[in-house]
Structure 1
């Protein structure tokens, strides 16, 4: 049995699974990582962890996991693993969450993909696919502040822009809607740019949406893009399981 843990900036998700399927699956606020979230009666073969929340969270979790008396591995991006090549300038500097998401997609989908994670930060990555070699390559991507970071930045650094309940509106006629709509249009514009790049190289492709605000972005996408979309909530955890099984 593997314990797979995805430490995000806001939430930490975990999954207990083996080759037969998922046995348990849950999440908690990352700020509560010092509490006892892992209580299992089953034997754990290995614990694999993706962490983008900093060294302090990693150190706390290491202490909490000692009771399982099994190997604990904090995953880093590789230059090559299975059928995925990492084309980042410095392969080890690619965020573990982005690499594991690409690893999951490369394992499951034999197509070129645009991978979009909409959480505390928004990442939009392009993963090409060489059909002759059956090989994916992580080609790069962009990072944007997520919706809450965008709202908080504007609230904290401007005099009159306050965080309030808001909806998508074109054209927006109040400040809250202007912020919300600006964020959504920014993400959609970046997705479209990467979709056009990917589709210029490959006719057979997918857009993978993940993260807490995936549905928010999906509902505002053009219908011609929606037909390429799959929503997958646990890409990082699935990537950890691919890594565990390699």
Structure 2
């Protein structure tokens, strides 16, 4: 069994894949709260016959070393930290310095391309909002990193004396401060996506298909029109990577 770990800015998600190549959901928890090792002991206490551990991480090297040390202790394995390459899994990275593209973004693009090869836009609404485009040949066309709607609201509340967002809702014409903050944050995120998507097509052409995932997807979806909801694309991309790489030596 291969252990797959997606360590985002806020949450750690994991899954496993065995001989049938089917992704088996594992668990998810906020790794910024409490002890990472204690959480991993609870999550992985019953796991057996782990042959390799593959990690997609966007956190600090110190946090990665915590995870690597626990993998060594628990399974006697060296954790394999994936970094974004120039080309892999049918995807060509648009960055001049490929490793600077977040590996979560690269793996999600690889999973989307494996799912269907076409011009498409992938939106991930997490701690940050990322928007990436990919063409039918697997060429990454670049992307955006935007403050998530939640981060926008937190920044406004923290930076002003009398603005609150608690209890605010999405309204077409907000008539309270809380509704104005919530609606403004969602409009800003949706507008960034719309402008980026429009740049990919000629005037009058249909917008490319939009894949939406991440913990903040529910509140953003009503403003994005027709979308395809996707789940765990990073883990699916990591499964593709692990299959391509085989089983490394511990």
TM-score over 0.5 for the pair:
yes
Superposition CA RMSD, Å: 1.9
1:8-67 CA distances to partner (integer Å, 9 max, x unpaired)?
A: 111111002224223342101112423123123431121111111222221111121112
* Equivalent residues in 2 for 1:213-224, closer than 5 Å: 213-222=216-225
User: Which sections of structure 2, spanning at least 5 residues, go unmatched?
Assistant: 245-250
1:146 to 137, 145, 148: 148
**1:54 is the counterpart of 2:56:** no
Q: For 1:203 and 1:245, locate their aligned partners in 2 and report how far apart those are by CA, in whole Å.
A: 35
Aligned length in residues? 236
Q: Which residue of 2 aligns with 1:65?
A: 71
Query: For structure 1, which segment, 145-154 or 103-112, has the greater mean C-alpha deviation from structure 2 after superposition?
Result: 145-154
1:142-193 CA distances to partner (integer Å, 9 max, x unpaired)?
A: 1111122212211211111224121101221111111111111112112212
1:62-88 CA distances to partner (integer Å, 9 max, x unpaired)?
A: 121112123411110000013110011
Q: Which residue of 2 aligns with 1:8?
A: 8
How far apart are 1:197 and its partner, in Å? 2.3
User: Which sections of structure 1, spanning at least 5 residues, go unmatched?
Assistant: 130-134
Q: Which residue of 2 aligns with 1:83?
A: 90
Query: For structure 1, which segment, 77-86 or 155-164, has the greater mean C-alpha deviation from structure 2 after superposition?
Result: 155-164
Higher percent of residues as strand: 1
Q: Do the aligned residues in 1 keep the contact of 2:165 with 2:179 (CA within 8 Å)? A: no
- Report the CA distance shift for 1:46/1:200 in structure 2 as closer, same or farther (over 3 A): farther
Q: Under a length normalisation based on structure 1, what TM-score does the superposition of the two structures give?
A: 0.89
Q: For 1:200 and 1:25, locate their aligned partners in 2 and report how far apart those are by CA, in whole Å.
A: 42
Q: Which residue of 2 aligns with 1:28?
A: 29
Q: Under a length normalisation based on structure 2, what TM-score does the superposition of the two structures give?
A: 0.88
